[in-house]
Structure 1
Amino acid sequence: MASGLTLRLPQFPHSSVHIGLYTSVTNASMIRRELLSGNTRYSYAFVDPRCVLSLAHVLAAVYRALTDMEAGGMRTRTLSSEIVFAFGGTMNIADTLRRFGINDDSDSLLVVKVDTDQVERSNSVWDDLGEIVQGTSIPATDENIAPLTDVEIVRKNYKIQEGISLDDRSEATKVVSGAIALRGYL
């Protein structure tokens, strides 16, 4: 059974957010193929954890996607793809999905599922992911995300200048969360 995290955002009390973290993933190309074919069983946001700084970073993207959904401003077809798109700091959907989403050679994954219908599905989400992802489930914590992060990829994806340090995860998370919040406004 997966060791994921389930929580609710106070602004969206009727939605459950499930976050899982996987290492040693061996079937990323199959998962990506199923996503691209539109298989609804794979309606999860599969994110490259090399691009993620912290759980707060993940929640900023989830919050942005839920806000856009409620405002009728989603740019993608599904909430799962909107979550991946929300990680980006630009309006280019294809580029953002390529940079932040699953790739054929992904060997670790951060997976997000949001239930918006007030039904608590934690056990079925983790059971389903246990069948979908062939890898090792580890607790979705900042401590487990940190070694998977590639700060140079984060710097490149968010166009953060070389003079700005990303060593302090808390400060770096504020920078990328600001980019997520302001995407499309600047």
Structure 2
Amino acid sequence: MKLEVDYELTSTGDRISIGFAQNVKNTPEIRQAVLDGKLDAVVIKSSLIPDPLVIAVAANKAALYKSRNCMRTRSIQTEILYNLSSSTNISQSLKTFGAEDKDNTMLVCAINKDLSEAKELVDGEWSSLQSLHSDCDTKQLRKLYKLKDEEMKNLVNSLISKIAAKDSM
């Protein structure tokens, strides 16, 4: 059972490592470490991500924008959160997709490094990413992305399409 998955971000050759933490007891501490730059990672609300491929698509887009110097946010981590959202409002995107202090499950992602630093900090259980789908809040995703019944049948593909097409709509 693999507790971490790596994707190559094909637009730049960068890599993203993604892990799923449950029963997290120190979310405020983790968030503060990210904000202070002590943890070089992004923490994502896991209930809004049905599959790690969705994050990989958002990260690929963020890495491409970083390489072209045209990011809309200040860091690649916040650019990933922004790309996950259907909103063009940066603050709303970060608030919606970033893990909150009250969250006890989260996805932790790092660009071009493994998650060993995060694993030392997170006081919780690292779980298989295969269990991610059962944590997914499909009602909230339907509302956020304005998904139709037909799009809900293949949720992951629908979200990937929405993320990929965000800037062209």
TM-score normalised to the size of structure 1?
0.82
From the superposition, tell whether residues 7 and 177 of structure 1 become closer, same or farther in structure 2 (CA, over 3 Å).
closer
Cα distance per residue 1:76-122 (max 9 Å; x no partner): 1111111111101121011111111110111101111112xxxxx43
Q: Give the conservation status (yes or no) of the 8 Å contact 1:57–1:176.
A: yes
Match of 2:11 in 1: 11
Aligned-partner Cα distance in 1 for 2:151–2:85: 20
2:161 maps to what in 1? 178
Residue by residue, what CA displacement relative to the aligned partner does 1:146-174 show, whole Å, maximum 9, x if unpaired?
1111101111121223x3352x4xx2112
Alignment partner of 1:164: what SS?
A: helix
Query: What is the deviation of 1:184?
Result: 2.8
> Partners of 2:15 and 2:21 in 1: how far apart?
20
Q: Does 1:43 align with 2:40?
A: yes
Secondary structure at 1:40 match in 2: coil
1:114 aligns with 2:111: yes
Q: For structure 2, which runs of at least 5 residues remain unmatched after alignment?
A: none
1:72 corresponds to which of 55, 69, 88: 69
8 Å Cα contact 1:5/1:139 also seen in 2: no
Range 64-73 or range 18-27, more displaced? 64-73
**Contact 2:9-2:63 within 8 A present in 1 as well:** no
**1:135-146 matches, cutoff 5 A:** 135-140=124-129, 143-146=130-133
> Cα offset for 1:62?
1.0
Q: Matched residues in 1 for 2:111 and 2:22: separation? A: 21
| Kept in 2: contact 1:6–1:19 (CA 8 A) | yes
The DSSP-based 3-state class of the residue aligned with 1:106 is coil
Tell me whether 1:132 sits opposite 2:121 in the alignment. Answer: yes
- Distance in 2 (alpha carbons) for counterparts of 1:103 and 1:147: 19
Match of 1:164 in 2: 150
Q: Is the 8 A contact 2:18 2:108 kept in 1?
A: yes
Give the length in aligned residue pairs. 168
Matched, 1:148 2:135: yes
Q: In the aligned structure 2, how far is the partner of 1:16 from the partner of 1:108?
A: 23
Aligned CA RMSD, in angstroms, stands at: 1.8
- The aligned counterpart of 1:86 is 83
Give the fraction of aligned pairs with identical amino acids, expressed as a percent.
20
Structure 2 length as normaliser, TM-score? Answer: 0.90
Where does the alignment leave 5 or more consecutive residues of structure 1 unmatched?
116-120
Q: What secondary structure, in the 3-state scheme, does the structure 1 residue paired with 2:70 have?
A: coil
